[in-house]
Chain A
Amino acid sequence: MDGKQQTPATMDAFLQQLWKENPVFVTLLGMCPVLAVTSTATNAIAMGISTTFVLICSNAFVSALHKVIPKQVRIASYIVIIATFVTMVDYILQAVSPTIYAALGAFIQLIVVNCIILGRAEAFASKNKVVPSIVSGAGSGIGFTVALFLLGSVREVLGMGTLFGVHLFGPSFQPWLVMILPPGGFFVLGTWLLGFAWWKQRAARRAALLEETVNAR
């Protein structure tokens, strides 16, 4: 987003949320929409953008208002702020694209109970100024969108042989139907996590090996 003119500190906050603490792959938050709406890449992107919008707006509001909100009722106030923005997204999407709205169904309204948003409001926005909160919100929103896209594209390609509705293979392609059904969501997410864990383990082993050779000399 507007990360360019920021000081390095906020750029760090952006990248940290986007990659090092990716809400889906690292902290495993907000799993319900991740699995439920990623049967196609288009749905995944739409869901990601809606969530990002709610994240940025609610983060901005929470950080602007956190001095006014009494500590005892903060969670309830945050939920009301989030619910307001979700209602907005719900109506906007209904007006902009009825097809996507129908495909996502109740999951747009269920953004309210996405743990990522409340988690960011409580852990970051309520302790920081407005601009860093917006940047951090954008970071985790985009991280969430990327993760949804990774899942959605794999499931769509394997399950239907298409990407964004465009056919990739010839007519003889036999779709792997289970991938767009519920079990496919669990399997694909599990495989991605497996891939990341393997990659991390390999990086750690290489670092250890390098250190060993340096020490041996």
Chain B
Amino acid sequence: MQGESLTFIFLNAAVINNFVLAMFLGICPFLGVSGKLKTAASMGAATTFVIVMSSACAYALNYLLVSFQLEFLRLISYIVVIASAVQLVEMAMKKFSPALFHALGIYLPLITTNCAVLGVALFQTSRSYDLTQSLAFSSGAGAGFTLALVLMAGLREKMELSDVPAVASGTVMTLMLAGVLSLAFMGFAGLGGH
């Protein structure tokens, strides 16, 4: 996988293979926190930060694990690293922006169990990206996650005003919207020349 340009890796993770809409990683917060535009944007930013940080840590950790031939501990050590990164973000947010901290509520600690975070760490390992590639990949994934979340929140805010049959309201409508959005993102498929 050497030789892929950094721009391509970033774009690939952000739009072509969008983490939420094409790879189905991070669906829980995508359905849960996409009700309001403002919380969606800050959730996206917090998740991006965790993704980039844990990706850098995971890179260093993988280097260590491989040199000691302890690859079977990869999953456990990654998840511990991610949990600590989330804890850090949580403490920082509580100190600097208590309002946002309360708005995100339970979804903030749940970033730990966001598949997108662990997914990035696992994919960069299996594709054997080097450090800069990993960083491009993780920031692309974070940007893609934020993009999907913000788009979805915008759509859902508009949907509030429309007259949906009671039986189809709520999650059903959200899923259908997500499907349409995902259909639209398939249009990016040819972007990288693949």
Binding site for B on A (CB under 8 A): 28-29, 31-33, 35-36, 75-76, 79-80, 83-84, 86-87, 90-91, 106, 109-110, 112-115, 118, 178, 181-187, 189-190, 193-194, 197-198, 201
CB interface residues, B 144-194, toward A, < 8 Å: 166-168, 171-172, 175-176, 178-180, 182-183, 186
**CB closest residue in chain B, given A187:** B179
Interface of A is mostly: helix
Bin the interface of chain B by size.
35 or more
List 6 extra interface pairs beyond A32-B24, A80-B79, A87-B75, CB under 8 A.
Answer: A86-B75, A178-B183, A182-B186, A185-B179, A190-B176, A197-B168
A185 to B27, CA, bound (A): 12
> Would you call B176 and A91 a contact (CB within 8 A)?
no
Residues of B within 8 A of A113 (CB): 79, 112-115, 117-118
> Would you call A115 and B113 a contact (CB within 8 A)?
yes
Residues of B within 8 A of A186 (CB): 175-176, 178-179, 182
- Cβ 8 A contact of A109, one of B24, B113, B122, B176: B122
**CB closest residue in chain B, given A117:** B113
> Would you call B76 and A194 a contact (CB within 8 A)?
no
A60 to B183, CA, bound (A): 42
A186 to B75, CA, bound (A): 28
> Would you call A80 and B115 a contact (CB within 8 A)?
no
A32 and B27 contact, Cβ closer than 8 Å, known pairs A113-B114, A190-B172, A190-B179: yes
> Would you call B175 and A110 a contact (CB within 8 A)?
no
**CB closest residue in chain A, given B126:** A106
10 residue pairs bridging A and B, Cβ less than 8 Å apart:
A28-B31, A31-B24, A31-B28, A32-B26, A79-B112, A106-B122, A106-B123, A183-B186, A194-B167, A197-B168
A183 to B178, CA, bound (A): 8
Residues of B within 8 A of A79 (CB): 79-80, 83, 112
